[in-house]
Amino acid sequence: MNSNRMRAYRSILFLIILHLFTLGKSQKISEEQLKNELQQIQDKIGSTSVVNTTIKQLENIYRTAKENKYNVAFPIGTELMRTYSTLNNSEKVIEVATDLESHINEDSSPQQVSNMYKMKAGSLGALGFLEDSHKAYQSSKKYLGKIQDNDVRHYYSSLFYSNYSGYFDQSKKQPDSVRLYLIKGLEEAEKISEKKSSIAPGKKYDLIVSIQANLTLYYLWIIQPAQPRTAETYLLKSLKIAEHRKISSLNEMNLYRTAGDFYFEQKNNDKAIHYAQKGLELERKISSPSGREIFYEILTEAYLAKNNTLEGKKYNQLLTKLRDSIRTVEKHSVNKVTTAIKKEKDKEKNSTLRNYLYIFFILIILGCGGIWYYWKSRNKILQQRFQELITKIKHESENRQDGMEKHEEKAIKAPKTIAEETVNQLLSKISKFEKTEKYLKSDITIAGMASSFGTNTKYLSEVIKSYKNKNFNQYINSLRVEYITRKLYEDSVWRKYKITSLAELCGYANHRVFQTAFKKETGLTPSDFIISLKKETEPETV
């Protein structure tokens, strides 16, 4: 009996081991399967422009490709970077790029390598690492010359130049270079052939529309003085292409957002509403909460500007509700991923309870670890910028006291076209202008300021540029942001105000313009700065 029982146990053990071995083999995914899965993801994004539902799938197949040392890991990684970039997750873009650099070899596609460095450069610039950003752009450019196919080279060159223009905007150096590289990008896109080309016409016109929309913003916001007529010329060209050509839904939606912003800025509220509504129609298909948020803002402000309080309140309520739901979705995103995994695993007839639990808990751990790492990195960067800003505020009083001494030192470098006496008079008036906080007036212009100083705009502009190292708009923005950060730091009551109220108090009619200026000056959003201030200066209540 014992002998028979022992043989039975051995047989059962053998079958269990054989089953587990077979299960392990069946779960190994081939490189061809991963290529097909990547193609399916890209097709889905191409047809819907939706990326947020594919991020986990891309992360999983990227990890699998690396574990098996497949060459397909590189194209999967670049697609993952592109998805993170679309979701404005710069930290993750850099993380994947750094990982991919170790996988570059002689067989690597030059256009994929170039594109990888380009995306890394853009994310480094967005986080303020401009020197590293420039190096990455140079690496990207080096690989462009290795692309054999002319149309493919024109396509990726267009992507490179249009993105490289952003470096000059971020660094606030050579603003004309922004336009120069946008034009170069546009020229490269227009060189792409539409006959028997390896680049689909849709991709070509997506590029053209995107670059022309950026040129619209350049002539509206970057060049001084603004050139709204030139900006509208590029905008109308893009709108005409969108009307007659097939472009991606995401790109078309972003074009309508640009049009809505442009016409609202030009006080053409009817057109601003028209394009914001068209953008909302596309957003319903794409499901882009960030895009919907901007359209709601445009519609709220445009309707209120038309004294249509009914519609204005309606979209303001929708905007408030959307922002609340975005916060809720962010809190429960991990739960959604877990639910999706459970449903998928329930469909697998051959999976055992042990395998299910193992995979489930590993994914939970990876997901939580990823979230922890992201927030830790983000908070570290924000805390560093916050401390730098606090240090700057603490030294402001000293800087203001010896400010005139610095002006006297710089008087030696006065522009040759302006008499030294005139320069010193203007510096004295500028100092008084700053002390009396006249820069808080919402209608301040360089013409009005020059008139009150008894001079002309050319002299005033040159003096500001020489002694403040900024153009007029940058100078006013820096004063306003310095004022509001000081108030927030010194008086806890100010931290209770809404962002719209803070914007008005420091001279901005539009709170979105205020937020943009604040972020450019400090590297933080007003909300992030206020939250950090409360944590550091206000005692916690138990």
Asked if pLDDT for residue 229 goes beyond 90, the answer is yes
Q: Are residues 367 and 432 in the same domain?
A: no
The mean pLDDT of 54-68, rounded to a whole number, is: 88
- For residue 257, give the 3-state DSSP assignment: helix
Q: Are residues 100 and 241 in the same domain?
A: yes
Whole-model pTM: value is 0.52
Q: Are residues 262 and 297 in the same domain?
A: no
Q: What is the pLDDT of residue 258?
A: 92
Q: How confident is the model at residue 50 (pLDDT cuts 50, 70, 90)?
A: low
Asked if pLDDT for residue 270 goes beyond 90, the answer is yes
Q: What is the pLDDT of residue 2?
A: 52
pLDDT digits (tens, 9 = 90+) for 294-326: 888 899 888 988 899 899 888 888 888 887 776
pLDDT digits (tens, 9 = 90+) for 30-45: 888 888 888 888 877 7
- The single-letter DSSP state of residue 395 is T
Identify the burial level of 42 via C-beta atoms within 10 angstroms of its C-beta, where 0-12 means exposed, 13-18 middle and 19 or more buried: middle
Q: How confident is the model at residue 370 (pLDDT cuts 50, 70, 90)?
A: low
Tokens 């008005």 belong to 504
pLDDT digits (tens, 9 = 90+) for 284-298: 887 777 788 888 889
Contacts of 506 (CB under 8 A, 6+ apart): 440, 480, 481, 483, 484, 514
The mean pLDDT of 256-264, rounded to a whole number, is: 91
Provide the number of structural domains found in the chain.
3
Q: Does residue 227 come out as left (phi exceeding 0), alpha (psi in the -120 to 50 range) or beta? A: beta
Q: Are residues 139 and 206 in the same domain?
A: yes
Asked if pLDDT for residue 63 goes beyond 60, the answer is yes
Which among 232, 242, 217, 293 is positioned nearest to 268, based on CA atoms?
232
Token pair in block for residue 282: 């596309």
Q: Are residues 249 and 137 in the same domain?
A: yes
Domain contains 403? no
Question: Mean pLDDT, the chain, as a whole number?
Answer: 80
Q: Are residues 161 and 108 in the same domain?
A: yes
Q: What is the pLDDT of residue 239?
A: 92
Answer whether 262's CB lies under 8 Å from 235's CB.
yes
Domain contains 14? no
Domain boundary among 229, 246, 266: 266
Q: Are residues 161 and 223 in the same domain?
A: yes
Q: Are residues 247 and 280 in the same domain?
A: no
Torsion of CA 126, 132, 134, 137, to 10 degrees: -90
Tokens 């800025």 belong to 265
CATH of the domain at 480: 1.10.10.60
Of the ranges 94-103, 312-321, 332-341, 360-369, which one carries the lowest mean pLDDT score?
A: 332-341
Q: Are residues 276 and 239 in the same domain?
A: no
CATH of the domain at 156: 1.25.40.10
Domain contains 486? yes
The mean pLDDT of 384-396, rounded to a whole number, is: 71
Answer whether 167's CB lies under 8 Å from 125's CB.
yes
Q: Which residue has the higher pLDDT, 408 or 13?
A: 13
Domain that includes residue 485, residue range: 420-537
What is the total residue count of the chain? 542
Q: Are residues 36 and 174 in the same domain?
A: yes
Radius of gyration (C-alpha) of the chain in whole angstroms: 28
Q: What is the largest CA-CA distance in the chain?
A: 116
Q: How many Cα atoms occupy the beta-carbon half-sphere of 309 within 13 Å?
A: 0
Q: How confident is the model at residue 409 (pLDDT cuts 50, 70, 90)?
A: very low
Q: Are residues 426 and 350 in the same domain?
A: no
Q: Are residues 452 and 475 in the same domain?
A: yes
Domain contains 453? yes
